[in-house]
Structure 1
């Protein structure tokens, strides 16, 4: 009897497909809510995987670049039905939200200049800032269980916010720190809790074979690289579509640490490096992503739509925007399947590896600092109309003009904080209420 037959009850492919579609349609609330939904459905309700296997898959996905919730769905789908199960699970986690985001990005491009629409997005931005703060608190409670972990988080914040250290270097440094601390003082980083081993090691072979893993990875790599190379050859590296393909391909490789860390990287690159969006527009996109099912990284689809819409080349803006959104989705998510199909058969054999767990714990601690950086960056650009970037030796400083503070933005964020953090209202309700209050504030002003 195979490992899957022993550890996972026999599951019909049609039943699994219906379940993955249900999860894809209901996966609101960011990665924490999505992972909780999958745990409830797959572990508690369906009992298709046990707790140890689910946590081990989650730990591996948190080590990967890209959206951990989508990769977790792909991993469990692979455990159930091999390659085809992983493809179906991963796609159904993406497609419902992607269709909604395409419609919202189209409406945003065409109507964001209308006063009521702009006012609604103003309110949403104020609430999204609180969502990021809530993510810092949530991840921090889980990750910062020792003084060493707090030190790693603080160092990560200083490195990315004040020293502008590239995010991939922060992740690599955190992983190396975790491994070194494990060698020198086992348990120092996690304080005896942390992530912990994902479960007892088992001898059962994972589904598939090494040859099948390499074959699937080769197909994914070819599907990923083909449109990027075709664009480079056809239009050159300076074309808007080629830049979209290259940037989001790079993002798929270097953005470790979960969805909010990825969002921080996209926001700063799209706004400061490429100039595709203004800071406020990035907040609008994040607000839209929070209101749709699927991974938060779908905000990249919003970025790709606007980047192409504003530089359409020979296409009309609407067609260009749709093409930019589709290209962004392709180069963002095809690598996610590659990482799972290539790594999962081997990572299944590493359950309970303490050195790997220490590296993961350090990365998760560093992510707290990175997400805090995202929150501070968003707050500065939301609360102040004018923010100057200056240098003081090696330090990069953001200096707000205090005369440009927006009391309405501060007030709406405070109300959203009370609703989300104190009253524990559902996130869609908080975002909807913030949009209504934004319209009211716009009318008053």
Structure 2
């Protein structure tokens, strides 16, 4: 283990936390440039092993990769400092924006910008799902039966996200279990994990913590796969936000540096102000720290574990379907004609022209502000 000073880790991981716009691809690129290319703290094989291991864990993979890289350089202290400095810049910014967008009487241009950015969110979700399909398709190989199962997992995840909301995690786990069972050697007994569908918490900060805990520990696939679960809780179960406000929260999670999981901080802010936002963030990110700190030495073995790989094939593919399926309830949250025009333009920008997500959301926000001021 290359021993690096905590001050250096705080500075470098904090820098990435400030400039890491663009989601996981940007985070991975910045971490690779820092740890492998420029500083040579890790070799390419170690870094690739880290990516593979964190992709097998629930929660925000790029955040877990940042924590894992820091852990390899300075152990537990490095993981805590690096993860904290990576997360906090985006968290501070998203909470400040949440205070502006969720104010009791925000200026019309703010509401317009929020409506415009929110209109582009379904396109961003579909773009995210489309970008994940090739890797998952290659994982199943050329075997026809495997590809039939892959399509089934994809469809199940899409339906679960579009229709059931709170039961999505059960669908993801079930898809993983099916794939493990298919690959189990003949005559051998396969362990079936028990997943409990616990009732919702009663309300207040306990409910905020419960929602954040599900986001951080039960959202297999990370990123947009958590959106249907959060929308069900924040809008329909507890009534903390309207559908339009939830769209704004997702947009804020995309245009700020850091993982989209930080959207849960906006949900917490809507429920209980600054305390709720901070509590949601702490609870949502705690599992990522725990996974790395307590299981760090064993994470690399996951890549070579047959059951883990089988689970990734099933649950990961269902998660892609869930991301795609989330576009339906998100689109249903739009209410004005000009928002559908913005959505169509965002789809063209992302899927046809293949341009960036952040620019799409910012442009949509500008259009919304101009509409509100006209």
- Offset of 1:343 from its aligned partner? 1.6
Q: CA separation in 1, counterparts of 2:85 and 2:40? A: 20
Counterpart residue number, 1:206: none
- Offset of 1:247 from its aligned partner? 2.6
Relative distance call for 1:91 and 1:164 in structure 2 (3 A) is: closer
Match runs of 1:10-409 below 5 Å = 11-110=4-103, 113-145=106-138, 146=140, 147=147, 148-162=149-163, 166-183=167-184, 238-308=202-272, 321-382=273-334, 385=335, 406-409=336-339
- Offset of 1:119 from its aligned partner? 1.1
Give runs of ≥4 in structure 1 deviating > 6 Å: none
- Offset of 1:165 from its aligned partner? 6.6
Using structure 1 for the length normalisation, give the TM-score: 0.73
1:442 aligns with 2:372: yes
Q: CA separation in 2, counterparts of 1:87 and 1:29? A: 23
1:203-229 CA distance string (max 9 Å, x none): xxxxxxxxxxxxxxxxxxxxxxxxxxx
Bigger shift: residues 286-295 or 262-271: 262-271
Gaps of 5+ in 1: 186-236, 309-320, 386-405
- Offset of 1:114 from its aligned partner? 3.0
Q: 2:361 aligns with which of 428, 431, 437?
A: 431
1:284-335 CA distance string (max 9 Å, x none): 0111111111121111111111111xxxxxxxxxxxx111111112212222
CA contact (8 A) 1:59 1:360 kept: no
Relative distance call for 1:363 and 1:48 in structure 2 (3 A) is: farther
Relative distance call for 1:323 and 1:39 in structure 2 (3 A) is: same
- Offset of 1:270 from its aligned partner? 1.2
Using structure 2 for the length normalisation, give the TM-score: 0.86
- Offset of 1:68 from its aligned partner? 1.5
Relative distance call for 1:302 and 1:269 in structure 2 (3 A) is: same
- Offset of 1:339 from its aligned partner? 1.7
Q: CA separation in 1, counterparts of 2:150 and 2:36? A: 30
Q: CA separation in 2, counterparts of 1:139 and 1:51? A: 22
Bigger shift: residues 284-293 or 41-50: 41-50
Gaps of 5+ in 2: 141-146, 187-200
Match runs of 1:401-420 below 5 Å = 406-420=336-350
1:333-387 CA distance string (max 9 Å, x none): 22221121122222234442233222212222111111012112101222xx4xx
CA contact (8 A) 2:156 2:321 kept: yes
Q: CA separation in 2, counterparts of 1:287 and 1:362? A: 29
CA contact (8 A) 1:31 1:296 kept: no
Q: Aligned Cα RMSD in Å?
A: 2.3
Larger radius of gyration: 1
Q: CA separation in 1, counterparts of 2:44 and 2:314? A: 23
